[in-house]
Amino acid sequence: MGLQRRTVGTQQAPPVDILLDNMKTQLAFLLALTFATSALAQPPVPGARLSRLGENSDGVNAAPSLKPQFVKDYFPGTVDVAGEPLAGTETMSFAVHAGKLFAGLGNRNLPDDASVKVGAQVIVKDSENAAWRLEHQFESTAPRVNALTSATFTTDSLGNPLKDTTKMLVAAPSDASSDTDDEALRWATAWTRDDVSGDWTETRVYSAERRKPACRSFGVYRDPVTKVCHLFAGTSHGSIHRAVYDPAAPGRLIWNESAELDNVGRVVAFAECNGSLYAACGLRRTREGITGGIYRRKNGPNAHWECVFQGPWPARRGGADEALLMRGLTAVPAPDGDGEVLLGSRAQAGVIERIDPHAEYAVTVELDLREHFAKVWNLPEYRRAALSAYNTMTPWKNSESGEQVHLVGVAVLHPTLADTPPHNGAWYLVRHADGRYSTGYIDDNEHPVASGTNLRGTRAMITSPFDNTTVFAGGGDIGKQISLNTAWIYQSTISDDEK
């Protein structure tokens, strides 16, 4: 089945003036991405013409590249069927819930003269041919949806099995309220959706004074000792909190404000591997030494976390924490068939690593992104930013062959052609079960990205809830740049040949 271009309701393509505004806001993106890996940033490297996908595009440790066609599916700067404004500078994440596709958007760093200034949004696609519509609008003091998940609860707060499994859509907005606000005590929040009424309810996770607390990641796990199913929240300030399901509580969640883990760096991902729950925590220098890395939860009534792997402290890292993170923590089958291993990515090193719990957490570099894309682009070398797997590596099963692959969004920029059509789209990887990687490219010839701009990184990918072949991709990474309507979502159907 090849790609079928679809009509998606009344959402219209943006007018020319919006495209011109976008051109103004995106010129500095190369600096934004380079800042995250400043120790490795170098001047542009001359190279051959950028290959279109499928033309000499196999990199290091590569499988044959995919050649799906993508369709632009979301147009920020327009209105939905109810007349509500659709905005966004970044598509942060996706979640499939109740047979629908939801997306969490950031809308920050807006120009002073922007005609519509709203906070973060959750939008929803109700069916295969439906246009995106606004699902929930956060206040302007919440400029990002940091995390979005469909959480499944199988027990109550005491560990008793629920008569019916409960699924709950949960979103975590960021906090950008002013330091001069009257209320000194601030709360990190998780908002839950009532699928019957469509209402959203705020639940409070933890508080902090004179800081801007926020949840950054979610994970669901049932403690095999206590039998209680928990929703875990990893925070931007380096702590892990847990909640239990209670249908009588506001938002149906009760959070334990006391952290199970504290004093680490930003907690960006959770993964269950071989029955254990792991968390990827940024490195942090403390009086007791360096904390952070990959932590494993020790279950039971007195649950705690132990560090099982810690990467090196970077020699130079600039002013951001990107060099301290391992992103995209994901469990995949072990190469030898013995259980599962963990995958994670590190931006400064520009690598995807495999970590084996059965071998004392030995690390194998599966892919060097800079080597890979230098070969993809026919360059002698590539030294710029190489960020991958912002949140997770998305599983997708080939319905014909049965092969389980993983989709990995990346943020890379060709040194000379990144802002030149038709090379100014976005890239992604497909990790095959044997550890090889295919390279994919996202653009839409019918809605080309304007010259002088680019899509600025693939943040999230997900398989469609409406069929088993369509993939949705979204992104935009604006850094600290003034931006307007730069969030993007494309969809693609992979043909039989590409399967």
Q: For position 134, which CATH number holds?
A: 2.130.10.10
Highest average pLDDT, of 22-31, 34-43, 432-441, comes from 432-441
What separation, in Å, do the N-terminal and C-terminal C-alpha atoms of the chain show? 10
Does the residue 8 lie in any domain?
no
Q: Which segments of 185-331 does DSSP mark as H helices, in order?
A: none
Q: Which segments of 182-299 does DSSP mark as H helices, in order?
A: none
* Residue-range definition of the domain harbouring residue 222: 16-493
pLDDT computed for residue 59 by the predictor: 64
- Cβ atoms 221, 227 nearer than 8 A: no
Question: How confident is the model over 431-458, as a mean pLDDT?
Answer: 94
d(CA 197, CA 22): 36
Say how many domains are in the chain. Answer: 1
In this prediction, what percent of the chain has a pLDDT beyond 70? Answer: 83
Highest average pLDDT, of 7-21, 27-41, 144-158, comes from 144-158
Across the strands, what pairs with 460?
474
Does the residue 1 lie in any domain?
no
Label residue 165 exposed, middle or buried (CB < 10 Å: 0-12, 13-18, 19+). Answer: exposed
Among candidate residues 458, 440, 457, the one with its CA nearest the CA of residue 62: 440
Does the residue 435 lie in any domain?
yes
In terms of pLDDT, which residue wins out, 115 or 62? 115
Element (H, E) at 85: strand 85-86
pLDDT band (50, 70, 90) for residue 34: very low
Q: Phi-psi category of 209—alpha, beta or left, where left has phi over 0 and alpha has psi -120 to 50?
A: beta
CA distances in angstroms from 32 to 298, 368, 413, listed in the order given: 38, 21, 11
Does the residue 141 lie in any domain?
yes
Question: How confident is the model over 305-333, as a mean pLDDT?
Answer: 91
d(CA 70, CA 442): 6
Report the mean per-residue pLDDT for the chain: 87
- Cβ atoms 429, 2 nearer than 8 A: no
- Cβ atoms 348, 322 nearer than 8 A: yes
Is pLDDT above 60 for 10? no
d(CA 466, CA 120): 25
Does the residue 6 lie in any domain?
no
Question: How confident is the model over 66-83, as a mean pLDDT?
Answer: 90
Q: Give the type of residue at 139.
A: E
- What tens digit of pLDDT does each residue of 454-487 get? 999 999 999 999 998 899 999 999 999 999 999 9
